[in-house]
Chain A
Amino acid sequence: MKYQIDERGFYGDFGGAYIPEMLFPNVEELRKNYIQISESKSFQKEFQSLLKDYVGRPTPLYFAERLSEKYNTKIYLKREDLCHTGAHKVNNTIGQILLAQSLGKNRIIAETGAGQHGVATATVCALMGIKCIVYMGALDIQRQAPNVARMKMLGAEVRAAQSGSKTLKDATNEAIRDWINNPVDTHYIIGSVVGPHPYPDMVARFQSVISAETQVQLLEKENRDYPDHVIACVGGGSNAAGLYYHFLENPRVNIIAVEAAGKGIDSGESAATSALGKEGIIHGSKTLLMQTPDGQITEPYSISAGLDYPGVGPMHAHLFRSKRAEFISIPDQEAMDWGLTLSQMEGIIPAIETAHAFAALDVRKFSPEEIIVFNFSGRGDKDLDTYINHFRL
């Protein structure tokens, strides 16, 4: 079984480009060029140099001693929270902005839910001096005021998506409509491993720096270049794709994906796509998505805005169906408790998305000699309000 994308743009049954003809020239231009450009010497030189000097890579692979002791296993944290802007999202936006420049685009659009990808996009646009428009659900704009302010301060225009449920999926629809209306000068920076081919593969490649570094760092620390388990939270799935990437075809590495169960899988307020989703089309990709029997896409829920996407990247849908990855889902309450545990045991306040991944330690048993790598995908500053309200701090 292959877990990487095939030549038709599919991961097993999932993926492809189910797009209206209006988007074909743009998506086709990307499809034809993304590998050639991103593997070229000049691109790699600039990309690596920005990752090092601007983003702050390589990020540390930190041995979490107290946590390891408590769970009697070897736990490493891949510290993506230490990236500039506070999460892994910037790895992708750096890659895509360089790609957009190579293609001669002078206008950038993006969608954002919690605002992390919007901030990462606004950041690289400021860095390059390129016009940036970020679509954000009208409801999310109200809920995420600090990130809206950050984007504005970075010079981006934030446009409210007023359609549908006024959240991430609608912001994505609006960004796609903008791209239809501006087919020549604009590049759309999608923030996760979702959307039409080649986006899932392109974003996964830019995020794969996470597992590439992990291999080198593990070799130094443990004298082998792979762990026994890789664990990450999955909304759309970009941080997970980055951590899994170089281990996908290595059967010695067990893959664990943690989704947000929200108020519980059967509560009607959940974002556990693998458990609740059915095969369908969302944002140009065939994947698993939460929908009504009539095929209308439903609104997910999680306390963590970065995980409440009604679909999942096609790579992850394939990892789930082929049983290559083990999927578990964690309710709000446990994730919040892990936010506190990580803060007080390791001195790192995690993003609530990231906290979800660690609940795997309560669900699964690991043995003392096993090596586990968690993607510590983001820091918790953006979630302080939610933590304050939840724990009455």
Chain B
Amino acid sequence: MNRIDKTFQKKQKLLSIYFSAGHPELQDTLPILQALQDSGVDMVEIGLPFSDPLADGPTIQESSTRALNNGMTTEKLFDQLENVRENIHIPMILMGYFNPVMQFGIERFCQKCKAIGIDGLIIPDLPVDIYHHEYKVLFDKYNLYNMFLITPQTSEERIRFIDSVSNGFIYMVSSASVTGAKSNFGNTQEDYFRRVANMQLKTPQLVGFGISNAETYMKAIRYSQGAIIGSAFIQFLEKNTITAIPEFIKTIR
């Protein structure tokens, strides 16, 4: 069974953390993963840096640029992760844009992920329709989950369609924005969270974008199965050491 499914079976409300591989320093990937697991985080998303991350706000853009300047590449990240499963047992997801995956070779990328023990991918600019037509067979062959996003503007019909082809979880984008933009959730978000919860989807939902503290985390998990923190964690890493990661997680839950 895929580790993502196992984790949802074991726990009610998940905390997942996103960070950009190669940021703040090139060799930080493994220490950050270890610290996150030791802090009790349920799942991690490792960001594959890209020169043109068009769905991301300034924080993730800058971390991505810095990672590239540090020399991070897809190849290097796979090298760093080669033996990661000796110590890391929580689900690991790679999140990145489609162009670097294409250049690496899509099947080769999937092979590498399987060999390392990656559980799934989030590729925001690979739309569900194209994925379904062209790449699903390949991802299935390597037992990789591919997670899709929904937003407050996604129609009920399309949410039902996405649910029907999803595995792992649905990434519920909290508001109409790029990553990191909002500091609090208002009634609009709560209505949207409730509306989706009432749809009784077969796939669990994790809320992401704009979750930065205990307050937004609690609001996000009230109607969903968990939440994802990215920009706020990256900002924390810029001002603190990796050893301080448990303190950050404690402020959330």
Could you list which residues of chain A lie within 8 angstroms of chain B, going by C-beta atoms? Answer: 16-22, 24-25, 163-164, 169-170, 173, 176-177, 180-184, 278-284, 291, 293-298
Beyond A164-B65, A282-B52, is A295–B100 a contact (Cβ under 8 Å)? yes
> In the bound complex, do residue A21 and residue B149 qualify as a contact, i.e. CB atoms below 8 Å apart?
yes
> In the bound complex, do residue A295 and residue B104 qualify as a contact, i.e. CB atoms below 8 Å apart?
yes
The 12 listed contacts between A and B (C-beta, < 8 Å) are A18-B125, A20-B124, A21-B173, A22-B173, A24-B127, A173-B53, A181-B176, A183-B153, A184-B153, A280-B102, A282-B99, A296-B50
Q: How far is the CB of A199 from chain B (nearest CB, A)?
A: 14
Beyond A16-B130, A19-B127, A284-B125, is A295–B103 a contact (Cβ under 8 Å)? yes
- Assess whether B165 is interfacial by the CB under 8 Å rule: no
Beyond A177-B178, A180-B55, A281-B99, is A294–B74 a contact (Cβ under 8 Å)? yes
15 other A-B residue contacts (CB within 8 Å) besides A21-B149, A21-B173, A22-B176: A18-B125, A18-B126, A18-B127, A21-B128, A21-B150, A22-B173, A173-B52, A177-B57, A180-B55, A180-B176, A180-B177, A279-B102, A283-B52, A296-B51, A296-B100
- Assess whether B54 is interfacial by the CB under 8 Å rule: yes
Q: Which 10 A-B pairs have the closest CB atoms?
A: A295-B103, A295-B100, A21-B149, A296-B51, A20-B124, A20-B55, A294-B73, A25-B153, A281-B99, A295-B99
Question: Complex Cα distance A206/B158, Å?
Answer: 31
> In the bound complex, do residue A181 and residue B178 qualify as a contact, i.e. CB atoms below 8 Å apart?
yes
Beyond A21-B124, A181-B181, A183-B176, is A297–B150 a contact (Cβ under 8 Å)? no
B:135-184 near A, CB below 8 Å: 148-151, 153-155, 158, 173, 176-178, 181
Look across to chain A and name the residue whose beta carbon is closest to the beta carbon of B154.
Answer: A21
> In the bound complex, do residue B52 and residue A295 qualify as a contact, i.e. CB atoms below 8 Å apart?
no
Question: Complex Cα distance A193/B15, Å?
Answer: 42
A residues less than 8 Å from B176 (CB atoms): 22, 180-184
Look across to chain B and name the residue whose beta carbon is closest to the beta carbon of A17.
Answer: B127
Q: CB-CB contacts of B96-132 with A at 8 A, as 1s and 0s?
A: 0111111110000000000000000000111110100
B residues less than 8 Å from A173 (CB atoms): 52-54
Beyond A18-B127, A164-B52, A173-B54, is A297–B149 a contact (Cβ under 8 Å)? no
Look across to chain B and name the residue whose beta carbon is closest to the beta carbon of A283.
Answer: B54
- Assess whether B75 is interfacial by the CB under 8 Å rule: yes
> In the bound complex, do residue B50 and residue A21 qualify as a contact, i.e. CB atoms below 8 Å apart?
no
Question: Complex Cα distance A163/B150, Å?
Answer: 26
Beyond A18-B125, A18-B126, A20-B149, is A295–B102 a contact (Cβ under 8 Å)? yes
> In the bound complex, do residue A280 and residue B153 qualify as a contact, i.e. CB atoms below 8 Å apart?
no
> In the bound complex, do residue B154 and residue A20 qualify as a contact, i.e. CB atoms below 8 Å apart?
no
Q: How far is the CB of B132 from chain A (nearest CB, A)?
A: 13
> In the bound complex, do residue B154 and residue A293 qualify as a contact, i.e. CB atoms below 8 Å apart?
no
A residues less than 8 Å from B51 (CB atoms): 164, 296-298
Look across to chain A and name the residue whose beta carbon is closest to the beta carbon of B96.
Answer: A295
> In the bound complex, do residue B103 and residue A22 qualify as a contact, i.e. CB atoms below 8 Å apart?
no
Q: How far is the CB of A25 from chain B (nearest CB, A)?
A: 4
> In the bound complex, do residue A18 and residue B57 qualify as a contact, i.e. CB atoms below 8 Å apart?
no
Beyond A21-B127, A24-B127, is A291–B54 a contact (Cβ under 8 Å)? no
B residues less than 8 Å from A298 (CB atoms): 51
- Assess whether B68 is interfacial by the CB under 8 Å rule: yes
A residues less than 8 Å from B155 (CB atoms): 25
A residues less than 8 Å from B128 (CB atoms): 21
Q: How far is the CB of A255 from chain B (nearest CB, A)?
A: 28
Look across to chain B and name the residue whose beta carbon is closest to the beta carbon of A16.
Answer: B130
B residues less than 8 Å from A24 (CB atoms): 127, 153-154, 158
Q: How far is the CB of B106 from chain A (nearest CB, A)?
A: 12
Q: How far is the CB of A190 from chain B (nearest CB, A)?
A: 13
Question: Complex Cα distance A19/B129, Å?
Answer: 11
- Assess whether B31 is interfacial by the CB under 8 Å rule: no
> In the bound complex, do residue A294 and residue B52 qualify as a contact, i.e. CB atoms below 8 Å apart?
no
Q: How far is the CB of B22 from chain A (nearest CB, A)?
A: 12
Q: How far is the CB of B131 from chain A (nearest CB, A)?
A: 10
> In the bound complex, do residue A20 and residue B73 qualify as a contact, i.e. CB atoms below 8 Å apart?
no
